[in-house]
Chains A and B, each alone.
Chain A
């Protein structure tokens, strides 16, 4: 229940804060309204000028095609190819005709208009405002209230996590719950997972001398997917229960072992069995360190 309230407060607070922050200051709105006519005119001028680029690009294509065609000139056997170029050039010409081509004077005039509009647009005053307070909208109180609500939500959320972490331990310590009835926590189950990884690695080691290439690859895959991945999936609960600083070293040792198993797989696939053996041996060391760390933390 507490978690739900925390989620709701956090969500409402964040939405309110974003909405409050999103509104534009009045002075900026005024400024944007003033420059809008300039932007509309500029867009129109730029659209017209774009045709100049289109024409330029088409003319370049035509020149390139003509050049390639001319290089074939005089050779009867290439008449067919020449004809193909002619067809392509005719297509480009058709495209060129379909565009309202601007004269040099018109282009010059458009560029001048664009420069003048840009200058006038830049001359529009009012933004940024001289008073710093006017840089923020009048929805800032909404933003502040939203921030406050979200902070309350986070505090409740974190408290709920802490209570869940402490509750089973406290109940056990006070003898309210016998060991057998205590809620199963990730910290309780994690050592079992690590031990299962170690057992799977022992099996893997025992088959190294007689296993075929494919059998070994399959077995490493199996250790990763059936024994390591379940521990990886436990990590969020583990962090929640133990806290990040206590859970981090355990997870880092486990990840290191996982990477070494990946190395064993790659080395085996590449045909370096001895490297594969070394990597598995090294991985076993990492998992052992994870287990020691885990047991040490649980004893704390």
Chain B
């Protein structure tokens, strides 16, 4: 942190003050302190919101806006790359909380439901910290592959960089960003308020809006064609940013719902489904589990086919290249640092496993090794999916983690959950780190500085989130039961994971779907088309309403580019789409806060 503004002379150059001789502010005390404070506040708020509502929200855009306001507006010193450091720290700490809040409540709920096992908070803390370290360590070497070679879009990363640059990108771009923001925020407000909801119309005419989705079956199109589109402008904007590159994702959804689903019905394979819920049956019993398998197989094969580029990135790290030879120091964390970090993370992981009641030393070693390998693969899958579509299949990955570990640890729920927490925190970190590195790439930040601060601060998020969950649980009647069904904090994600653990323990895992899906994913990954396996797997794993909305965005972008040209898209469509993403994200946070307070918080 040696780049504090040392107060060089300031002269005017046109309309901008020139900081003559002063070091360019990047990794500064102000950015770190502000990032940590924002991260802790966002973490606490979103942990509470996730227990209340069942979903969490990334904090990068909020942190970037606050960073701009405080660093430049209040302190009058901030630079874009400094704000990038602030936002990297804040979102890293916040995201670590998401990994914890989606998993740990399940342990409390399972025990409250009568399952007999014991667990301690210590191993969970260590598991979470190990996940935070390992998630960053495993994804750093892939920055060059994902951002510089594959040029993945990371729509939220682009939105954040657009915000950071908004003040200097010219009036027109700032206006477009603001217009996109206003439209999206207003649309989200109207949708969320239920003003447009017309369930009776949907029932009578087969057309109308309910729960932010437009139904258009007109009582003609069968439900298994999934004639529903999610009316999220954020989703549409992700498609607008992806353009032609996102078409495979849409194709995967179309293949699932316009080919596979009707074929399955036609061949009488859905006889066990209730007549009114054939689509739900196809989704939960066929497409979703197959999609999880395709995701895993696709990502594994992706590693194999991309190995020359990954090797190239590793050898560049090994040479400790300075990229351009100007003597300005390292651009990335060195391979030695990454190896030391990985070994340290694994050691913490091992200690966490050994501290877990009922785990033998052999099981601890096994769960550390298998857990780390799976964690790396899951981190890669989630980072790639986020880069391609802005959507993270976190719940699917936690499900596989817990399944593998329950089998490996012979049903030891607490032991499996230590790994589950580590994996969930790690995959969140990996996706978040890559989003932030994309933002950094767009504004020219030094990646090593972002990687250092993420590694150094993200563990704080684990402690904050676990502390909050511990306190909330013990705030219940008689010092227990502070969240779960029938309380003010229903913890829907924790409840769902608890249900999954119960079904895994009774052997009801769709192994056939995972296995066949993995083979299909492997084939898709082997095709000479980057990311095909992950994109199609993700499309099968998600409801079609999301994929369809995203696909419309892709087609719109292609049409706009054909009509107005590439430059129009880069200069006008990108800031507008970024505004759409930010508007909905901020209104989502406002909606969550309103929902919490209106229900008596």
What is the interface of chain A, defined by CB distance below 8 A to chain B? Answer: 10, 13-15, 17-25, 28-29, 32-33, 36, 40, 53, 57, 60-61, 64, 122, 127-128, 135-137, 140, 143, 147, 150-151, 154, 157-158, 161, 212-214, 217, 225, 229, 232, 235, 240, 243-245, 248-249, 251-253, 255-257, 259-267, 269-275, 278-279, 281-283, 285-286, 289
Q: Does B308 contact A (CB under 8 A)?
A: yes
Expressed in whole angstroms, the Cα–Cα distance for A161 and B513 within the complex equals 32
Would you call B516 an interface residue if the criterion is a C-beta within 8 Å of the partner chain's C-beta atoms?
A: yes
Please tell me if B74 contacts chain A, counting CB pairs below 8 Å.
no
Q: How far is the CA of A20 from the CA of B524 in the complex (A)?
A: 16
A225 and B260 CA atoms in complex are apart in Å by 42
The A interface, classified by DSSP as helix, strand, loop or mixed, is: helix
Q: Is B318 an interface residue (CB 8 A)?
A: no
If A29-B272, A154-B527, A157-B528 touch, does A22 touch B290 (CB 8 Å cutoff)?
yes
Binds A, one of B195-203, B220-228, B369-377, B442-450: B442-450
Is the Cβ of A136 less than 8 Å from the Cβ of B324? no
Evaluate contact between A251 and B148: CB separation under 8 angstroms.
Answer: yes
Q: Which residues of A contact B286 (CB under 8 A)?
A: 22-24
| Extra inter-chain contacts (19) besides given A18-B260, A248-B313, A271-B16, CB under 8 Å | A15-B255, A17-B520, A21-B519, A22-B513, A23-B286, A61-B599, A128-B507, A154-B527, A213-B14, A213-B15, A229-B566, A232-B151, A248-B312, A249-B316, A255-B144, A256-B331, A272-B22, A282-B323, A285-B325
Taken together as a complex, chains A and B put the C-alpha atoms of A261 and B442 apart, in Å, by 10
Docked complex Cα distance between A242 and B526 (Å):
18
> B481-497 interface mask toward A, CB cutoff 8 Å, 1 = contact, 0 = none?
00000101000000000
- The contact of B517 among A21, A122, A281, by CB within 8 Å, is A21
Given contacts A143-B516, A263-B444, contact A57 B600 (CB under 8 A): yes
Using a CB-CB cutoff of 8 Å, which residues 328-360 of chain B contact chain A?
328, 331
Cβ of B118 < 8 Å from any Cβ of A?
no
Q: Which of A18, A33, A36 has most B Cβ within 10 Å?
A: A18
Given A60-B600, A260-B324, also A128-B508 (CB < 8 A)? yes
Q: Tell whether, in the assembled complex, residue B19 and residue A272 are in contact, meaning their CB atoms are under 8 Å apart.
A: yes
| A266 & B443 in contact (Cβ 8 Å cutoff) | yes
Given contacts A32-B272, A251-B148, A256-B148, contact A281 B312 (CB under 8 A): no
Contact B290 A18 (CB under 8 A): yes
- The 8 A-B residue pairs with the shortest CB-CB distance in the complex, in nearest-first order: A263-B444, A21-B516, A255-B148, A269-B168, A245-B308, A262-B444, A213-B14, A285-B324
Given contacts A18-B520, A251-B148, A255-B148, contact A212 B313 (CB under 8 A): no
**Assembled-state Cα–Cα distance A259/B14 (Å):** 25
A266 to B81, CA, bound (A): 8
Nearest CB in chain B to that of A232: its residue: B151
Within 8 Å CB of A229, what residues of B?
A: 566, 570
Subset of 12 A-B contacts with CB under 8 Å: A22-B264, A147-B523, A151-B523, A244-B306, A252-B144, A263-B81, A269-B167, A269-B168, A270-B79, A271-B10, A275-B24, A289-B325
- How would residues 509 to 547 of chain B score, 1 for a CB under 8 Å from any chain A CB and 0 otherwise? 001110011011001101110000000000000000000
Q: Does B80 contact A (CB under 8 A)?
A: yes
A265 close to B444 (CB less than 8 A): yes
With contacts A24-B269, A213-B16, A270-B80 known, is A17 near B600, CB below 8 A? no
Separation of A283 and B516 alpha carbons in the complex (Å): 47
Residue of B at shortest CB range from A39?
A: B274
Tell me the chain B residues, 120-140 only, with Cβ under 8 Å from chain A. none
B285 within 8 A of A: yes
> Is the C-beta of B580 less than 8 angstroms from some C-beta in chain A?
no
List residues 9-40 of chain B with CB under 8 A from any CB of chain A. Answer: 10, 13-22, 24-25
- Nearest Cβ in chain A — how far from B434, in angstroms? 15
A245 CA to B14 CA, complexed, in Å: 46
Q: Which of A57, A122, A278 contacts B326 (CB 8 A)?
A: A278
Judged by a CB distance under 8 angstroms, whether B165 is at the interface is yes
User: CB of B149 within 8 A of chain A?
Assistant: yes
State whether A29 and B511 are in contact (beta carbons under 8 Å apart), knowing that A154-B526, A225-B570, A289-B324 are contacts in the complex.
no
Alpha-carbon gap, A164 to B519, bound state (A): 29
Q: Which of B255, B272, B443 contacts A18 (CB 8 A)?
A: B255
Contact B325 A17 (CB under 8 A): no
Report if B388 contacts A (CB, 8 A). no
Q: Is B204 an interface residue (CB 8 A)?
A: no
**How far is the CB of B214 from the nearest CB of chain A, in Å?**
25
Chain A residues with Cβ below 8 Å from B10 are 271
- Whether a CB of chain A sits under 8 angstroms from the CB of B362 is no
Flag B431-459 by CB within 8 Å of A: 1 or 0 each.
00000000001111100000000000000
User: A19 near B263 (CB under 8 angstroms)?
Assistant: yes
Indicate whether B563 reaches chain A with its CB closer than 8 angstroms: no
Residues 367-393 of B, flagged 1 when their CB comes within 8 A of A and 0 if not, give: 000000000000000000000000000
Alpha-carbon distance between A283 and B324 when the two chains are bound, in angstroms: 7
For residue B567, CB closer than 8 A to chain A, the reply is yes
A213-B16, A261-B444, A262-B442 given as contacts; is B313 within 8 A of A252 (CB)?
Answer: yes
Q: Is the CB of A19 within 8 A of B325?
A: no
Distance from A121 Cβ to chain B, minimum over Cβ atoms (Å): 11
The answer on a CB contact under 8 Å between A252 and B13 is no
Specify which of B263, B272, B516 lies most central, judged by the most chain A CB atoms within 10 Å of its CB.
Answer: B516
Instruction: Check B308 against A248 for contact (C-beta < 8 Å).
Output: yes
- Chain A nearest CB: distance from B28 CB in Å? 13
Residues from chain A with Cβ under 8 Å of B488 in the complex: 60
